[in-house]
Amino acid sequence: MIEDGGRRGRTMAEKRQIFVEMRSQNFDTIRLSTYRTACKLQFVQKKCNLHLVDVWNLIEAFRDNGLNTLDHSTELSVSRLETIVSSIFYQLNKRLPTTHQINVQQSINLLLNFLVTAHDGEGHGKMTVFSVKVMLAIMCGGKIVDKLRYIFSQISDTHGAMTLSKFDHFLKEGLKLPAAVFEGPSFGYTEHAAQSCFPQQKKVMLNTFLDTLMTDQPPQCLVWLPLMHRLANVENVFHPVSCSYCHSEGMVGFRYRCQQCYSYQLCQNCFWRGHANGNHSNQHQMKEHSSWKSPAKKLGRAISKSFGCVPSREPPHPVYPENPERPLDLSNIVPPRPVPNMNDSAPALSVSPGPVNRVQGIAAAQRMNEEHALIAAYVNKLQTSPRALDSPSRMDEEHRLIARYTSRLASEPSNTAKPAPLSFNANKQQRQLIAELENKNREILQEIQRLRVEHEQACRPTPEKAQQNPTLLAELRLLRQRKDELEQRMSALQESRRELMVQLEGLMKLLKEEEQRQAAQASASPHSSPSHASSRPIPMPVRSADSTPTHAGHSHPPQDSLAGVGGDVREAFAQGARRNLRNDLLVAADSITNTMSSLVKELHTVEDGGEEEEERLQNGKDRG
């Protein structure tokens, strides 16, 4: 009882929190109820981080939680609703980069409390499946055409026509959102709202539904819905003109131009709050602009329009087919009856036993055992490794299993042939087998759901885990930091080694060219002095990882360019022509290889130490 009272107190505090913050934005000073309602709902949307969730992500979450198989009138408890909302935000955090992670628990609490408050002010009732789908589809982000298409799929029949009673139910649930932000008097539900939206059309299809709700003048009860999306689209639009009232340099958002006063323009803040000066009045007609076009561009468009070069206004949405898409017909792939177990139903078949039937029965039983073994191995994998639940290849594995199973069934000649007559006992055994398989499937799904919940709970960081053994945790962090530093150092040394090897190859080519040139000069002028040819400097473009290559005119690299090179390499380049340069280069390559080997050994030592610390930390937790 004490825990319930404390939780109820926290819930009431969180309910008040979002409405207190909404009142602090002074949305009530906006004189037009349409803009006031859209601004309030957009504030709740951003506060709950629903503007980051697309309608397709909602559909995926609904399918993961089994809402697509439930009737619209099915009631959901608050705990079930919390599970659905949690899956939405946890999947959102997986899609977001690590630098833009959201506070999942806060978003869950805010959205859950807002939905419960919008559906039932007292918070005692349950929400229906249809109410959850409608409210989340309206409040999520994404394109309005995708939202309306999904809503139409929920209120249409199998022939693709809208059902008026379902549309009336949609209005009843959708208009609870303006009422939740205290705009019920302006946009409340009435019994004749559905008929006023479509007064003349007897049969409303998808394109008619989109045309009605996405036009410049939508139905009065839903005029705030397209405005929410227009507000989201113009948040970062800049107009390089000054406001005629507040004289601000530039406008962000909407821009309003008076149709009577010459060159009189207002920013959205001044227009929403009814500010006016000079000869302008609030009764004048204002035109809303969501983009900025320069005067030269306007003149060019007017000239093109006068010559008929500009096409007519594009439709607000693409034209969709009137008939809904039919599901795929898999009757020719999957047999219409379940394949019985040959071991159980063999005595009940009214077929005389023979060698051919016996061989076919054994082969069918072997194939079924193979398929059962594949399914059992996959279920065992899910049970033993909870991480497999979140693996992106899980759906692919399931699809491969289903495709393999259906292809085997379709390839069997016994499935396409006429089935043999079965006795009453065989039918009874088949029904029992089907019931047993359904029970096993239900148990497997429950086990998968339990493992998923346990995995999510195990992944959640708890303060108890962070407070246990702070010394060991600090040592572990230091070891991990040292490991990261060594990995960075190793990658830098690998890059330096690669560059040095490229330089060594270049030097070898230069040596070969120099030897060929000296041989050519010796053969051309045998009486010339050999010391003259050997004293000519050889270009050596040597540089370290942080230095620039030396000029070709120097026979020896400067000392600062050899600061990061080993002793053998420095000695090789310092002595110049007094040593065999090819041997020196090989010695330098061996030195680099030894350095890399020692670094790898040190890295492995740090990794072993980190594993020992983690094992010691785990043992400490187990003892605790």
If pLDDT is split at 50, 70 and 90, which confidence band does 616 have?
A: low
pLDDT at 352: 42
Average pLDDT over residues 168-176: 94
Cα angle for residues 161, 164, 167 (degrees, 5° grid) = 95
Query: Which of 189-193, 230-234, 400-404 is the least confident region?
Result: 400-404
Residue 568 has pLDDT above 70, yes or no: no
- Per-residue pLDDT tens digits for 93-125: 999 998 999 999 999 999 998 998 888 765 556
Sign of dihedral through CA atoms 298, 302, 304, 308?
Answer: positive
Q: Is the pLDDT of residue 278 over 50?
A: yes
Residue 286 β-bridge partners: 258
Query: Residue 427 has what pLDDT?
Result: 75
DSSP 565-590: S-HHHHHHHHHGGGS-HHHHHHHHHH
CB of 45 closer than 8 Å to CB of 139: yes
Packing angle between helix 355-384 and helix 394-411, nearest 10 degrees? 180
- Packed helices 33-47 and 129-139: angle between N→C axes, nearest 10 degrees: 100
Better pLDDT: 135 or 392: 135
Q: 């009232």: which residue's tokens?
A: 245
pLDDT over 90, % of the chain: 31
Of the CA atoms within 13 Å of residue 133, those in its CB half-sphere come to: 30
Query: How many whole angstroms separate alpha carbon 299 and alpha carbon 295?
Result: 6
- Amino acid 465: pLDDT: 54
Going by their DSSP bridges, the two strands 249-252 and 265-267 should be labelled as unpaired
Q: What is the pLDDT of residue 480?
A: 83
Alpha carbon distance 43, 17 (integer Å): 13
368 vs 161 pLDDT, higher one: 161
Question: What is the model's pLDDT at position 360?
Answer: 56
Separation between Cα atoms, residue 13 and residue 186, nearest integer Å: 27
Please check whether residue 340 is in contact with residue 433, taking contact to mean a CB–CB distance below 8 angstroms: yes
Query: Quick one: pLDDT band at residue 91, thresholds 50, 70, 90?
Result: very high
CA distance 264 to 249: 14
Higher per-residue pLDDT: 488 or 10: 488
Mean pLDDT is lowest, of 286-295, 518-527, 570-579, for 570-579
Integer Cα distance of 222 and 175 in angstroms: 8
Phi first, then psi, for residue 334 (nearest 5°) are -95, 130
**Structure tokens that stand for 363 in this block:** 């082969």
Quick check: 568 and 539 in contact, CB under 8 A? no
Q: Tell me what percent of the residues of the chain surpass a pLDDT of 70.
A: 62
**Residue 133 binned pLDDT confidence (cut-offs 50, 70, 90):** very high
Mean pLDDT is highest, among 121-135, 143-157, 183-197, for 143-157
The confidence band for 168, taking pLDDT boundaries of 50, 70 and 90, is very high
Alpha helix segments (H runs only) across 525-580: 530-534, 567-575
In angstroms, the CA 133 to CA 62 distance is 8
Residue 549 is predicted with a pLDDT of: 41
Spatial contact of 541 and 550, defined as CB atoms under 8 Å apart: yes
Rounded average pLDDT over 314-334: 60
Residue 190, helix vs strand vs coil: coil
In our burial notation (b when 16+ CB lie closer than 10 A, e otherwise), range 216-248 reads eebbebbbbbbbbbebbebeeeebebebbbeee
User: Residue 102, Cβ neighbours under 10 Å: how many?
Assistant: 14
pLDDT of residue 313: 56
Token pair 């906006």: residue? 30
Alpha carbon 150 to chain centroid, angstroms: 19
Model confidence pLDDT, tens digit, residues 377-421: 666 666 565 555 555 566 666 666 677 766 666 665 544 444 444
| The pLDDT of residue 607 | 63
Rounded to a whole number of angstroms, the distance between the first and last alpha carbons of the chain is: 30
Q: What is the mean pLDDT of the chain?
A: 75
How does pLDDT run across 467-510, given as a tens digit for each residue? 556 777 788 888 888 888 888 888 888 888 888 888 888 888 88
Separation between Cα atoms, residue 116 and residue 76, nearest integer Å:
11
Q: Which residue has the higher pLDDT, 488 or 367?
A: 488
Q: What pLDDT does 435 receive?
A: 84
The residue that leads in pLDDT, 431 or 131, is: 131
Q: How does residue 170 score in pLDDT terms, banded at 50, 70 and 90?
A: very high
| DSSP letters for 71-127 | -TT-EE-HHHHHHHHHHHHHHHHHHS-GGG---HHHHHHHHHHHHHHHH-TTS-S-E
Q: Which is more confident, 578 or 152? A: 152
| DSSP assignment of 398-459 | HHHHHHHHHHHHHH-HHHHSPPPPB-HHHHHHHHHHHHHHHHHHHHHHHHHHHHHHHHHHHH
Q: How confident is the model at residue 47 (pLDDT cuts 50, 70, 90)?
A: very high
Quick one: pLDDT at residue 425?
66
Token pair 């030097």 is at which residue? 507
